[in-house]
Amino acid sequence: MKKVGSVKYTLGLLFFISLIVNSFTVSARGVYQTNQDFLTETFNSVVPKSKVVWLKGELALTITEILGHKYAGLRIRYWRNDQRSVWILEEIGKEQPITFGVVVAEEKIETIKVLAFRESRGGEIRHPAFTQQFKQARLDNMQLDRQIDGVSGATLSVRAMTDVAKLALYLDKFTG
Amino acid sequence: MNRRMRSLHRSMGAIVAIFVLILATTGILLNHTSDFELDKRYLTWDWLLNHYGMNDVQADAVYLLDRHTISQFGSQVFIDANPVTQSHLPILGGIIIDDLMVLATEDALLLFTPEGEFIEQMGDGLGIPETIQNIGLFHGDPVVQTRHGMWRSDFMLDQWEQLSLEGVGWSEPKVVMPASVQDALSTYFRGKGVTVERVILDVHNGHILGRFGIWFADLLGGFLVLISLTGLWLWARRSL
């Protein structure tokens, strides 16, 4: 009788642990902030009219060099006022596109955020503890001027965010 | 005892012979995969591809725009047989304005060149009306029907005004896609087919029959052991 009780207890515990593990896995996916909210927050509700940059010729080649592949689209939309430019960019983590919002001011990253995450793993990159590494990062010879520490189990997501940061800095300079 | 053993040996010999022939033939062929280029020859029989789980997939949505076929399989959007972008929401319709092919989902517009190259997704943050249900044209201007009314824009697609119009040419889905595109998509999903080498190997090891094939191959192996033992036993008895 005691044995049955301990088996039940063990099974219950395993079930509970699997629930916790599953909830962490599922919680990584989702839209954390809409593009509109990100823009409104960045520009204090006065969102400038969007502009587009067409990815042609030399620019397209440079972007391919930064990302290691062609950007998914022929043009990129951005918003700029006197102080900053805002870029909403998508990059594949492992299999699904991650939507990033990047604010660039004075050729340095002011903010980088995960706006939407669709992968099942690697969502840890959205935490401020990770994103703050990018603050004030600049582009130096097509690389960030600092080392970005990785996150265990989120290597591809970290790479995606790093590439997007470089891309936003490059585009800011190109369109500035 | 001797007679019974001989009878068992004969019966099993007859059963096993045909499978030994198959094993021997497939084994010889596998030994010469490179010579016969079995790894470069493909089989594309429907029943075989279905057996290998390479079934034809049905498009979730199909639209015809100009000379192009737009289709969606899960989140993957195709123009003709080319995967062009991903959309996690269903395509609800499409139009052509100026030099743009525009597809609508519930919360975004997907823009393509007339050749089918993906330009960008215009959605949240760009003033696109929400809860889109369909897209159409009114005297060349793009119009979207949403749950909260009808909206019209121009070729820039960034300014929308709410109004009510009659006579909008709404986009309509197609039930079937052109056969040439269907064939090209089948090739995309199924690849070149299954190599002859793979089929022969699966016949050789029983995997062609799935889980039962492996057990069947085990059973056949058991028979071969048994026939060897009965043969040895008969030979030993005759030698004595």
Judged against a pLDDT cut of 60, whether residue A20 lies above it is answered with no
Q: Return the ∠ at Cα B235 (arms to B230 and B238), rounded to 5°.
A: 125
Query: Average pLDDT for residues B81-97, to the nearest whole number?
Result: 94
A contact residues 141-170, partner B, Cβ 8 Å cutoff = none
Distance from CA of A12 to the nearest CA of B (A): 33
Q: What's the rounded mean pLDDT across residues B2-15?
A: 81
Q: Do A74 and B121 touch (CB under 8 A)?
A: no
| % of chain B with per-residue pLDDT over 70 | 99
A72 lies within 8 A of chain B by CB: yes
CA-to-CA separations, A20 to A10, A13, A14, A121, in angstroms, rounded: 15, 11, 10, 15
Please state whether B151 falls in left (phi above 0), alpha (psi between -120 and 50) or beta.
beta
Chain B residues inside the 8 Å CB shell of A118? 88
Nearest C-alpha in A relative to B128 = A36
Residues of chain A found within 8 Å of residue B125, distances taken between Cβ atoms? 34-36, 38-39, 47, 50, 88
**pLDDT at residue B119, as a whole number:** 96
Q: Give the residue on A whose Cα is nearest the Cα of B125.
A: A36
For residue B89, the 8-state DSSP code is S
Nearest to B120 among A34, A35, A75 (CB): A75
Of all residues in chain B, the one with the smallest CA distance to A45 is: B125
Confidence of residue A9 (pLDDT cuts 50, 70, 90): low
Are A72 and B122 a contacting pair at CB < 8 A?
Answer: no
Alpha-carbon distance A69 to nearest alpha carbon in chain B (angstroms) = 15
Question: pLDDT digits over A117-153, tens only?
Answer: 988 888 899 999 999 999 999 999 999 999 999 998 8
Share of chain B above pLDDT 90, in %: 52
Q: Which residue of A has its CA nearest to B76?
A: A96
Does position A168 have pLDDT exceeding 60, yes or no? Answer: yes
The residue of chain A with its CA nearest to that of B83 is A72
Residue B15 dihedral angles phi and psi, to the nearest 5°: -65, -45
Task: Choose from A20-29, A136-145, B120-129, B217-226 the range with maximum mean pLDDT.
Answer: A136-145
Q: Which residue of B84, B86, B124, B155 to mutate against A (max A Cβ within 10 Å)?
A: B124
Picking from B35, B85, B28, B78, the residue whose alpha carbon sits closest to that of residue B57 is: B78
Q: B120 vs A36: CB contact, 8 Å cut-off?
A: no
H or E element that contains A52: strand A51-54
Chain A contacts of B88, Cβ < 8 Å?
A: 118
Q: What is the mean pLDDT of residues A36-49?
A: 92
| B125/A75 touch (CB, cutoff 8 Å), yes or no | no
Phi and psi angles of residue A38, each rounded to the nearest 5 degrees, phi first: -65, -45
Is A75 close to B122, i.e. CB distance below 8 A? no
The sign of the CA dihedral B209, B215, B219, B220 is: positive
Give the mean model confidence (pLDDT) for residues B123-135. 92
Q: Which residues pair with B43 in a beta bridge?
A: B194
Query: Mind telling me how many Å the CA of A47 is from chain B's nearest CA?
Result: 9
Long-range contacts of B151-158 (CB under 8 A, 24+ apart): B155/B97, B155/B98, B155/B100, B157/B102, B157/B109, B157/B111, B157/B122, B157/B128, B158/A49, B158/A50, B158/B122, B158/B126, B158/B127
Q: For A86-126, how does the pLDDT look when each residue is reduced to its tens digit (9 = 90+)?
A: 999 999 998 889 999 999 999 999 999 999 998 888 889 99
pLDDT (average), residues B54-78: 91
Of A73-82, A129-138, B72-81, B184-193, the least confident:
B184-193
HSE, CB side, 13 Å, CA atoms: give it for residue B221: 9
By C-alpha distance, the chain B residue nearest A52 is B120
Judge whether A35 is closer than 8 Å to chain B, CB to CB: yes
Within a 10 A sphere around the Cβ of B152, how many other Cβ atoms?
A: 21
User: How many percent of chain A have pLDDT more than 90?
Assistant: 71
pLDDT at B216: 85
The pLDDT score that the predictor gives to residue A103 is 97
The model's pTM is 0.74
- Reported as a pLDDT band with limits 50, 70 and 90, residue A25 is very low
Count the Cβ atoms, other than its own, within 10 Å of residue B154. Answer: 14
CB-based contact (8 Å) between A30 and chain B? no
Whether A27 shows a pLDDT value over 60: the answer reads no
pLDDT at B54: 82
The yes-or-no verdict on residue B173 having pLDDT over 50 is yes
Alpha-carbon gap, residue B95 to B109, rounded angstroms: 11
Q: What is the CB-side half-sphere exposure of residue A112 using CA atoms within 13 A?
A: 29
- The pLDDT of residue A23 is 47
* Average pLDDT of chain B to the nearest whole number: 90
pLDDT band at B238 (very low <50, low <70, confident <90, very high): confident
What whole-number distance in Å separates Cα of residue A52 and Cα of residue B111?
13
Mean pLDDT, to the nearest integer, of B16-45?
90
The answer, for B124 touching chain A at a CB cutoff of 8 Å, is yes
Taking the domains of chain A in order of start, what are their residue ranges?
Answer: 1-30, 32-175
- B117 CB neighbours in chain A (<8 A) are 74
- Mean pLDDT is lowest, of A26-30, A50-54, A132-136, B213-217, for A26-30
Question: Which of B82, B110, B111, B120 is the mutation pick for testing A, counting most A CBs within 10 A?
Answer: B120
Q: What is the pLDDT of residue A24?
A: 46
Closest CA–CA distance from residue B118 to any residue of chain A (Å)? 5
Match 């603050």 to its residue by tokens. Answer: A135
